[in-house]
A and B are shown apart, each in its own frame.
Chain A
Amino acid sequence: MAKDTKVIAREEVVIRFSGDSGDGMQLSGTLFSDTAALYGNDLTTFPDYPAEIRAPQGSVGGVSGFQIHLGHSEIETPGDYTDVLVAMNPAAIKANAALVKQGGTIIYDKDNFTDKNLEKAGYVSDPIAEEKLETYNIIAAPISSMVKEALKDYGLDPKSVLRTKNMFALGMVYWLFDRKLKYTEQYFDKKFEKKPEIAEANKVALRAGYYYAETIEALNPVIKIEPAPIAKGTYRNICGNVATAWGFLAAAEKAGLEVFIGSYPITPATGILEELALRKDLGVKSFQAEDEIAGICSVLGASFAGRLAITSTSGPGLALKSEAIGLAVMAELPIVIVDVQRAGPSTGLPTKTEQADLMQALYGRNGECPVVVLAASTPSNCFHYAFEAARIAVEHMTPVLLLTDSYLGNGCEPWRIPSMKDLPEIHPPFADRNEIPFLPYKRDCDTLARSWAIPGTPGLEHRIGGLEKTIKGTVSYIPENHEMMVKLRADKVARVAEKIPDLKVTGEESGDLLVVGWGGSRGYLITAVRELQSEGYKVGFVNFNYINPLPKNVREIFGKFRKIVVAELNLGQFAGYLRMNLQEFRYEQINKVQGLPFTTGEIKEKCLKILEVE
């Protein structure tokens, strides 16, 4: 730090790295998050990338972004607007200009602002003037030529040299926020253990960026974000898809079961399959099926054979799995289906987030076909809800559908590592070997779960399948039997309500407005509600993680507020579900379907409008 540079402390800051999808912006963002987390900040990140692996260079559609929100206090969202924008080309300015806070800092690679690139982004001459950003703190850094200069004696080919531009930019941002380079340097030493020249080049570029920012005094005063007062414990960074995979592993360990995953690659869910495929050291059997249907059908086979069986997918894949979910309902086998939602319908916006698969999850099957539906609400609590999904599936002998979304699956945050001994035990209802003849559809009087007789167990030979059965497992077309079994299956799912926690209210316990959310939009909603509350409004917030069945105390909570608004990233699916199940209340709606999360600002604004109306 130069001697005359001042340092001021701030509560929170948002930084956005953006450039071509091949510019390495996801890596810059991830490394910055790791450094911030190791320093003790709370943070949330949001990668925002195009569907194409390498979209046309320099095009606005090909801009890949990574946003980090870090703070000295609890951080629940990746932030609405950014304090610092790193733009590696003109297209990145075009895509993000509106997201920069008034007077914020924009660092751009001026070597990349060639006529051709300007034209590709739709600018005539000067993006800064054309976007009316002159009053902002603009840092036009010759990043490309600086890395060429810094690495001229390292004997690297020109392509490898230019590939370190993202580290130069990262070095500059480290200086702006008074960060140490050591974690990132260690990362390169480890990552390129066998290619020390590449590790060195990246470190040189990183340091060059840092010193360049210092030399030009890129920001004065420099901003310092003190560590957040977070609970004692051991922490790590975790992303939603990995947390989901680990939740299943933890449940399997607690239940004494082997994990089987049968899935087909699909964005943005593939990370779950990839993580579990890695975990052969924990005995996971991963099966990359030939299609979505084979994925879930292999899982049904594995569940029949007595394993904790998981399939992961996204909306279009869930559609293909519908018939097999029906079979799981009928055969009463424990499986977990994870839907990492993305913007639909059809292929839709495959890399963008949405919460529009709720109705599909609840009802997208033929016949009366209830399943338990859960939804995670932060990247790290994907672990908890995956664990819960597995616990409920196994103990209640039912398929469970776990909803996460692209924003949660790809988002990362620090996570206090739980200890396995603190997690609840899971008790699979294995059939009693002495209970001969075995009746496959005999039920536990409490949960109504049938018992699980594992092939290989002598004396418990039985047949199950998609045809309606009697308690003995005999195929039956008797009308009264079918109605009884339909009601029993529905009742079994309804009784899960006895084994889930009550819904908790954040903010006011009663008052003028209850903001209702579910799943992944929690962070934005809770931040908006806290701000409204601090401004004196009588506002409360509930976020649903248990969707079917609903927690038992919902009616009691809803009754304590004058108005209820349901905010979700679809056209009102959860609101409709609540109208059907809790008809006595009136529900206002806040909806958004842009493939993007809410912003705290828009939630506040809409809540204020609802509060104004008498």
Chain B
Amino acid sequence: MADKQTSQYSPKDFKSDQEIRWCPGCGNHAVLNAVQKALPELGIPKEKFAFISGIGCSSRFPYYMDTYGFHGIHGRASAIASGVKIANPELSVWQITGDGDALAIGGNHFIHLIRRNIDINIILFNNEIYGLTKGQYSPTSEKGLVTKTSPYGTIEEPFSTGELVIGAKGRFFARTIDVNVTLSTRIFIEAGKHKGTSVIEVLQNCIIFNDGIHEKVASREVREDRTIILEHGKPMLFGKENSKGLILNGLKLQVVRLGENGISEKDILIHDAQEPNPGIQYMLANMKYPEYPVALGVIRSVDVSTYEDDLTGQINSVRKDSKIKCMDDLMHSGSIWKVE
């Protein structure tokens, strides 16, 4: 309801009356749940949320949220969302996009939004495939993947989302996995609170066209050993009973076992998401199984001023100093003359 106190919201306040049309078993359902759980925790009135999407399976998301929503065109969600947020910085703007939408057709808008640091929360559903068009390879598909448009295997190097985000001067990058709703919820809350562009890559399963693509790191049996959940200020430990960790060996990260070769917890790297120099965060974001565990959690979170704050500041300072307060002033400024 419109007059509800922000603290009283529950996930169901954010559910729209639309029938959800994603395939049964699609990873998107879990992400939707996590978002609906996260929003009540942000203390923002419901009418201030705007969900903006592009095109693709995940981009249907805004229809399922009882908030303001705009389902855009392919690849352009970043640009539409930029307009919404700059026009009204009071809004909490969320962009819903996929690996094709954000990294192929919308790659240009995506990197420039990140560079500008407009306070938009981007949830990027990465299923490494084009689902809505029924199974073609995407810019994040593993090299060699056989799909309808790569019947002999792709010959393209995939993008790593984290690498691209950091390369585009990204200040917030996090990764989660569809099946871990608790982690996703926590990350969405953090992203919502972060001032500036936040990119959350969700490793998402497409049950129809790329089923099990993240299974090698996501399945219940191997999850603990093959992923590491990073938390700011905490040692980078993972595995059953936190038996493994990460250290810096020369210029590279290395997986070590506690208790082996004299390694103890004090040797393990402490995660610093707030370090402006992205060197270690970059390596963390790029870790791949089997050499490394895949990094989940908030990998980078650095505070700098946002585009819209700087714009508002500039407008206020120009306004203060200018003699032009309205159109009549402007039209009569400069060289004018009277005809009697």
Contact = CB atoms under 8 A, between A and B. Distances in A.
Is A bound to B?
yes
Interface of A: 34, 37-38, 40, 230-237, 246, 249-250, 253, 258, 260, 262, 279-283, 285, 287, 289-291, 293-294, 297-307, 309, 323-324, 326-327, 331, 416-420, 436, 455-467, 474-475
B337 interface: yes
Interface string B288-313: 00000000000000000000000100
Interface string B85-101: 11110110000000000
Interface residues of B, number: 62
30 contacts: A37-B337, A38-B335, A233-B338, A233-B339, A235-B337, A235-B338, A237-B335, A281-B324, A282-B326, A283-B315, A285-B86, A289-B112, A294-B108, A301-B81, A301-B82, A302-B84, A305-B83, A305-B87, A306-B88, A309-B83, A327-B73, A420-B328, A455-B48, A455-B88, A459-B2, A461-B67, A462-B68, A463-B70, A463-B71, A474-B18
Contact of A300 (B2, B68, B80, B319): B80
A299 B87 CA distance: 9
Contacts of B155: none
A298 to B, nearest CB: 3
Nearest to A190: B335
Nearest to A286: B311
A420 B83 contact: no
A458 B83 contact: no
Contacts of B26: none
A236 B330 CA distance: 11
Given A282-B330, A297-B109, A419-B328, A456 B73 contact: no
A307 B65 CA distance: 23
B326 A300 contact: no
A294 B90 CA distance: 22
A257 to B, nearest CB: 10
Interface in B29-53: 45-48, 50, 52-53
Given A461-B46, A461-B47, A465-B62, A287 B73 contact: no
B63 interface: yes
B76 interface: yes
B79 A297 contact: yes
A234 B332 contact: yes
A301 B339 contact: no
A456 B84 CA distance: 11
B322 interface: yes
B340 interface: yes
Contacts of A304: 50, 68, 70, 80, 83-84
Contact of A458 (B2, B87, B325): B2
A613 B137 CA distance: 65
A297 B69 CA distance: 15
Interface of B: 1-3, 16, 18, 45-48, 50, 52-53, 55, 62-63, 65-73, 76, 78-88, 90-91, 108-109, 112, 311, 314-315, 318-319, 322, 324-328, 330-332, 334-340
The 3 closest A-B pairs by CB, nearest first: A301-B83, A465-B71, A281-B322
Nearest to B112: A290
A457 B87 CA distance: 15
Given A258-B87, A281-B322, A305-B83, A467 B71 contact: yes
Nearest to B91: A455
Contacts of A298: 79-80, 82-83, 86
Given A301-B79, A461-B68, 13 more contacts: A236-B334, A253-B326, A282-B326, A300-B70, A302-B83, A305-B88, A455-B68, A459-B2, A465-B53, A465-B70, A465-B71, A466-B71, A467-B71
A294 B50 contact: no
A38 B55 CA distance: 56
Nearest to B46: A461
A225 to B, nearest CB: 16
B258 to A, nearest CB: 47
B311 to A, nearest CB: 6
Contacts of A436: 2
Contact of A260 (B71, B86, B112, B335): B86
A262 B85 CA distance: 13
B330 A246 contact: yes
B69 A232 contact: no
A233 B332 CA distance: 12
B318 A280 contact: yes
Contacts of B79: 262, 289, 293-294, 297-298, 301
